[in-house]
A and B are shown apart, each in its own frame.
Chain A
Amino acid sequence: MVELADIPNEFIRAELDEFVEREDERTELIGLYARAAPHLLEIAAAIISGRNEDADRLTCEALGSGTGALEVMDDGLIAGMALVGIKFRENFIFVPEVLACARAMKAGMVHIEPILSESGIEPLARVIMGTVKGDLHDIGKNLCIMLMRGAGFEVIDLGVDTSADEFIDAVEEHTASLVGMSALLTTTMPNMGHTIEAFIDADLRDDVKIMVGGAPVTLEFADEMGADAYGDNAVECVEVAKRLAGIAQHRTAR
């Protein structure tokens, strides 16, 4: 059994010890960090501290030293964002800090993405995201997208004021398995339901999993709309997407 002391990085040990309180998450993260190579934990530490120049440089160095792109991404960048997400969910850090971490993540991903696409490695899942028709508020949706990308999803961002047809066209064009819809205004929330109905009418409802979120959106509302899942915040959005991606992959079995 691995323990906290087995993590070969002092900063990450301290962060994990201080901020990760749930037993299952502690166990999972200790396992993840303990098996990671020390030079990749340096990348994770740079992500957690929001140091984008370091994330950029360390990622380049790791790739240059022959570590595989997938390993750098999983054990460095995504491993770092995992702790960031938990700190955010638990109110230890807030939007400005998360944005700094996401920027560091992006600085590393710039080097990873071309290698992955060249070697034909598929992302965890392809997700279409946008705010619903009539809703121009995208701060929450953008935060979700950053954390989704930070977790290894490929996200196609349709921006704001997205019609049902735009969601449907994007799903078909990108053969996406997940759709994420966001609304800040209570008045535009019903458009989530209308979009879901449009997927049914287009005979595509069984091909995608649909998740919804946004400040006034609740689980009860999501259920009533016929959504597959609801995320209360950006971290939950990622958890929900992971769960749905598992289900979707299983069902379509391409």
Chain B
Amino acid sequence: MSQFLDRIAAGELLISDGATGTYLQMNGLEPGGCPEAFNATRPEVVRGMAAAYFEAGSDMVETNSFGGSRYMLAKYGHGDRVEELNRLAAELAREAAPTGCFVLGSIGPTGEILEEKGGTADSGEMYDVFCEQAGGLAAGGVDAVCVETMSDVTGEMQLAIRAVKDTTQLPVVATLCYDRGPRGLFTMMGDTPVSSAEALTEAGADVVGSNCGIAIGDMIEVIAAMRQATDLPILAHVNAGIPRIEKGEIFYPDTPEFMAEQMQRVVEAGANIIGGCCGTGPDHVRAFISRLRGGTA
């Protein structure tokens, strides 16, 4: 049994990290540049990011491998470096991790739609792509894999979960991205928080949850709905609000204090692990800890 899952099972609230992309852009990643290439070209930045989150009090960080699938890396001409860039992502975070803290290997969407969902991607090929990425992350020493920002619960997400399970012994965290429409919260493919929590539980995920897409008010609703549908631990990685532009710069409106206050409600709704997504940073993590652990961190 993994130590990561043991601590959640013991009833502990775990604090995750904040955004990766936002941090890397503030540290030299050009808009539209390949974030994963930084694992090879700017290892000190990637290691420093993990260190900054651990220093802020995170119990875990995610690796810089969100777009580390062959599909995504190929768009930057790095399709032949999947193993290397994912292994490096894991190693760099591991190097910064204090004893007792965790490294979650991030796997984001492939950017493809499966044939059976009306797109062009072959499911066998997509499965192999996930196996390859999971293999690299495992080789670099991650404690668990976090498949995140997914929209296709019964297709792409299920393939990813199975690929990680078949390739590694690691626990799988599986989080989905919802959007608010006129009839409620849905993934792009039409799953609700309830239907997806059920499907993820059935698919063998160890932790389920949601990240990105919506502001924290909607996230409270998502987590509460998922909690009704599963007994598994739940993770929420929340954006710092809906971005807007000010003086030509992207600006995320939700302050660490505001988010920390609302995060209390995310936990009450049923989350076992909380953290930030786009627009959040170490200051947000510090505020979460101060609020949710009564300033003991």
List chain A positions with a Cβ less than 8 A from chain B.
89-100, 102-103, 133-139, 160-161, 185-191, 193, 215-216, 218, 220-221, 224-225
Report yes or no: A96 in contact with B31, Cβ–Cβ below 8 A.
Answer: no
Q: Determine whether the beta carbon of B113 is less than 8 Å from that of A95.
A: yes
> Ordered nearest first, which 5 A-B pairs have the shortest CB separation?
A134-B32, A99-B118, A94-B190, A91-B183, A187-B31
Partner of A93, one of B33, B75, B190: B190
Q: How far is the CB of B242 from chain A (nearest CB, A)?
A: 7
Q: List 13 A-B contacts (CB under 8 A).
A: A94-B188, A99-B119, A103-B118, A134-B31, A134-B32, A136-B32, A136-B76, A139-B111, A139-B113, A161-B32, A189-B245, A216-B242, A224-B245
Residue of B nearest to A216 (CB): B243
Question: Which residues of B approach A to under 8 Å, CB–CB?
Answer: 21, 25, 30-33, 72, 75-76, 111, 113, 117-119, 151, 179, 181-184, 186-190, 213, 242-245, 248-250, 278-279
Task: Determine whether the beta carbon of A90 is less than 8 Å from that of B183.
Answer: yes
Do A95 and B244 touch across chains, with their CB atoms under 8 A apart? no
Find out whether the CB atom of B117 lies under 8 angstroms from the CB atom of A189.
Answer: no
Check B245–A96 contact: CB distance below 8 A.
Answer: no
Residues on A with C-beta less than 8 A from B244 are: 218, 220-221
* One of A90, A96, A221 near B118 (C-beta < 8 A): A96
List, in ascending order, chain B residues with CB within 8 A of A95's CB.
113, 117-118, 151, 188-190
A215 to B151, CA, bound (A): 13
Q: Is the CB of A96 within 8 A of B189?
A: yes
B113 and A187 within 8 A (CB): no
Beta-carbon contact of A90 and B242 below 8 Å: no
Q: Contact check, A190 vs B31: say whether CB atoms are below 8 A apart.
A: yes
Bound complex: CA A197 to CA B183 (Å): 38
Contact across chains for B32 and A91 when beta carbons are under 8 A apart: no
Q: Classify the secondary structure of A's interface with B.
A: loop
Additional A-B contacts beyond A95-B189, A186-B279 (9; CB < 8 A): A90-B183, A91-B182, A91-B186, A94-B190, A102-B118, A137-B111, A187-B32, A189-B250, A190-B248
Q: How far is the CA of A39 from the CA of B118 in the complex (A)?
A: 27
CA distance A95 to B76 in the complex (A): 27
Q: How far is the CB of B74 from chain A (nearest CB, A)?
A: 10
Complex contacts, A138 vs chain B, CB 8 Å? 111
A89 touches B182 (CB 8 A): yes
Contact pick for A94, options B119, B189, B279, CB 8 Å: B189
CA distance A178 to B111 in the complex (A): 26
In the bound complex, how far is the Cα of B190 from the Cα of A93, in angstroms?
7
B32 and A186 contacting across the interface, CB-CB below 8 Å: no
Within the complex, the shortest CB–CB distance from B19 to chain A, in Å, comes to: 10
- B243 contacts A186, CB within 8 Å? yes
A98, A135, A187, A220: which contacts B250 (Cβ < 8 A)?
Answer: A187
Cβ of B75: which chain A residues have Cβ within 8 Å of it? 136, 160
- A190–B244 Cα gap in the complex (Å)? 11
**Contact among B182, B187, B245, B279 for A190, CB-based, below 8 A:** B245
Structural contact, B31 and A191, CB atoms closer than 8 A: yes
Min Cβ gap B184→A in Å is 7
Give chain B nearest CB distance to A190 CB in angstroms: 6
Give bound CA distance, A186 to B249, whole Å.
10
**Cβ–Cβ < 8 Å partners of B189 in chain A:** 94-96
Nearest residue, chain B, Cβ from A233: B181
A188, B30: Cα distance in complex, Å: 9
- Complex Cα distance, B179 from A102, in Å, reads 22
Whole-angstrom distance between the Cβ of B243 and the nearest chain A Cβ: 5
Chain A residue with Cβ nearest B67: A136
- B250: min CB distance to chain A, Å: 5
The residues of A that contact B186 with a CB separation of less than 8 Å are 91, 94
Nearest chain B residue, comparing its CB with the CB of A103: B118
- Chain A residues near B182 (CB, 8 Å)? 89-91
Q: Which residues of A contact B76 (CB under 8 A)?
A: 136
The answer to whether B117 and A96 touch across the interface, beta carbons within 8 angstroms, is yes
Alpha-carbon distance between A218 and B213 when the two chains are bound, in angstroms: 13
Expressed in whole angstroms, the Cα–Cα distance for A48 and B187 within the complex equals 22
Q: Indicate if the CB atoms of B25 and A187 lie closer than 8 Å.
A: yes
Quick check: A185 and B32 within 8 Å, CB to CB? yes
A190 to B246, CA, bound (A): 11
Q: Which residues of B contact A103 (CB under 8 A)?
A: 118
Q: Which residue of B is nearest A92, CB measured?
A: B183
Q: Report the separation of the CA atoms of residues A20 and B245 in the bound assembly, to the nearest whole angstrom.
A: 35
Given contacts A99-B117, A186-B243, A190-B31, whether A91 and B181 have CB atoms under 8 Å apart is yes
